[in-house]
Amino acid sequence: MENTVQAFVNRHQLIKQNTTILIGVSGGPDSMALLHFLWRFKDDWNLRLIAVSVDHQLRGTASQADVDYVRDMCEKWNLEFVSTSLNVPAYKQKRQLGTQVAARELRYQFFAEQMNTYQADYLALGHHGDDQAETMLMGFVRSASVRSLAGMPVKRDFASGEIIRPLLCVTKEMIESYCTEHAIIPRRDPSNEDDKYTRNDFRHNILPLLKEKNQNLHRTLRHLSESLQEDDTYLQQEAIKMAENVVTFGNADSGLSFDTNVFKAYPRSLQRRCFHLLLNYLYGEKPQTVSYVHEEQFLKVLQTDHGHIEINFPNRLKLVKSYTTMSFYFMKDYIQPSSYHVIMDPPEEIVLPTGKVISSSIISEPHLEGGAIFVCQREAIALPLHIRTRKKGDRMRWKGLNGSKKVKDIFIDAKVPLNERDIWPVVTDNNGEILWLPGLKKGTPAESGANGDYIQLKYGMEEKHA
């Protein structure tokens, strides 16, 4: 393992001589193997090594015992050591986060503080090849972004220096053998065996199946990761150049603008990346409610020939397209959207001015799953669909009702607040028949009598995918 890691470090130029390295050490096999490896090369490379250990207050005395173990090993190897205790349960509850996410956020905050305190050049972490495989597979399942599929970078900027991952070139099995060879008896975290955590499920149930097909899976995925990251870096640089050439940047009040014809002259892959660069510039940190749906809506508006279009993004950010000029800016004084009317031609997803999303799909079998979903026969309605706010005199009918009922009375019966009634979506067909008040009432258009596809509508706030 030692030769493999040394060659990997040299190839990626991970560590320069005469530098300071913080090492995140939990006491487990991975981080202890990394600590021992760097300790072995400490004098050869003239390194200052500082082990950093964290008690997340999740396993009582056991987690403190992990910290004590790392401290003892550092004394044995004559290495500097720093530790802290972080109240992850309280932070998790306050921020409404999952345990793993809360622990990671607090841990990296502490790492950044220590990097700046010691003016360290590197933060070395013990992620290995199997970790990378798990990360890439989870990215494939969860996300639509190339960056997620690429997994963890070998190195990236962080605080006063860089995060480096020297063990991405080796497997868990190789690390365990290294610990045995050097008489390292690491600590074991029982939570790593619990399959309720997604990563553990991938580790124990999915990765072994793939390794049966390819015993060198970690190496294959490592090469894929490196290729994707190299491509991503290049495309990101090109997107930055594009933004600099195309976009006129202002401040938070004036926002930014660009000529759509010039923007469209660039490849679509750069258009997507530039869109996210612009959002990062405007927001500072993108809200979780910004999703791939907003990206698709942006690209759709970019291609349209309509003279004037406006789209509301989360947190009062507005996109305005006027002929060939597109602008983004924040509304100083937020005004509740008063009315809207958009046309939907299934299958399609539309972001409403309220920030909510209505998606439509064509299905062969109806699946009714509550008030946020509406299904009807495709042949029973006149397309396209219209999504609008209420109009005076709107009436709706449904199965079991004699005649029809005023939409106004439906809102009153459902105790919909006054300020929400004027922006509540009303879905109609092309003949004006009200099909659905999302979350309130579902209409019953006359069935065509023929077998065929169904149209399914969903209403809600989309989760972020990228």
- Binding site for ATP, residues? 26-31
Beta bridge partners of 124: 23, 164
Beta bridge partners of 341: 388
Burial of 423 (0-12, 13-18, 19+ CB in 10 A): middle
- Two structure tokens written together for 113: 């503080």
Burial 299-328 (b: 16+ CB within 10 A, else e): eebbeeeeeeeebbbbeebebbbeeeebbb
Provide Rg for the chain, Cα atoms: 28
- Two structure tokens written together for 221: 């995925």
Known binding residues are 26-31
Please answer whether residues 445 and 378 qualify as being in contact, where contact means their C-beta atoms are separated by less than 8 angstroms.
no
Burial of 88 (0-12, 13-18, 19+ CB in 10 A): buried
How far apart (Å, rounded) are the C-alpha atoms in residues 149 and 111? 25
Beta bridge partners of 455: 362, 376
Cis peptide before 208 (omega within 30 of 0): no
Please answer whether residues 55 and 85 qualify as being in contact, where contact means their C-beta atoms are separated by less than 8 angstroms.
yes
Question: 389, 385, 392: which is closest to 432 by C-alpha?
Answer: 385
How far apart (Å, rounded) are the C-alpha atoms in residues 69 and 27? 7
Report the amino acid identity of residue 108: Y
- Two structure tokens written together for 9: 């470090």
- Two structure tokens written together for 15: 């560590």
